[in-house]
Structures are given as C-alpha cells and as structure tokens.
C-alpha cells in the first residue's frame, strides 16, 4: 500500500482537507493525533518509523504545532525508546 491509498482508506480522518497532494508531514501529524494504534502501525509500514520520528521531532520543535500535550509526550517517549 502506498501513502495515497493509506489516506483514501482513512477519509474520515482527513475530512477537512483535499486528499490529493498531502505530504508525509501532514499525514504523520493527523495519524499521530487522531488515528488509532492500527493506523499508526500501518503508517510505520509505509513511512519508516525513523522518518516518522524525524518528522515528529521537527514538528514539535516549532513554537506552534498541532499536537495535543498528551500526544506529544507519549510519542516523544515512544520514539526515544524504539528509534
């Protein structure tokens, strides 16, 4: 499965944006914030976990980001342990 198929399969998570042309960083943000564990694991099959961690780190380094506090804390610890 490629990234576009993954997005189309989860239209309910991307209801407010155009599905074509989404980049990896937008997908990572949406899946980590709103996806379930199966969504996250399937995303790791498409986008390597190391790359997801790099995207996440860049996103949370910005002063303004869209991650909720609990999500940011969880994935910060998760990536520290598994990447």
Residue 81's pLDDT is 97
Where exactly are the structural domains of the chain? 21-82
Nearest to 72 by CA among 26, 12, 80: 80
- List the structure tokens of 66: 């869209």
DSSP letter string over 12-40?
GGSTTS-STT--HHHHHHHHHHH--HHHH
Q: How high is the pLDDT of residue 65?
A: 95
For residue 35, give the nearest of 54, 20, 52, 57 by alpha carbon: 52
**pLDDT tens digits, 53-69:** 999 999 999 999 999 99
Query: What pLDDT shows up at residue 20?
Result: 84
């Amino acid at each position: 499965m490629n990234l576009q198929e993954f997005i189309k399969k989860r239209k309910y998570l991307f209801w407010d944006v155009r599905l074509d042309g989404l980049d990896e960083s937008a997908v990572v943000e949406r899946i980590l914030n709103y996806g379930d564990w199966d969504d996250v694991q399937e995303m790791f099959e498409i986008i390597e976990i190391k790359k997801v961690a790099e995207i996440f780190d860049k996103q949370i380094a910005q002063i303004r980001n869209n991650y909720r506090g609990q999500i940011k804390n969880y994935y910060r610890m998760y990536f520290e342990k598994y990447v």
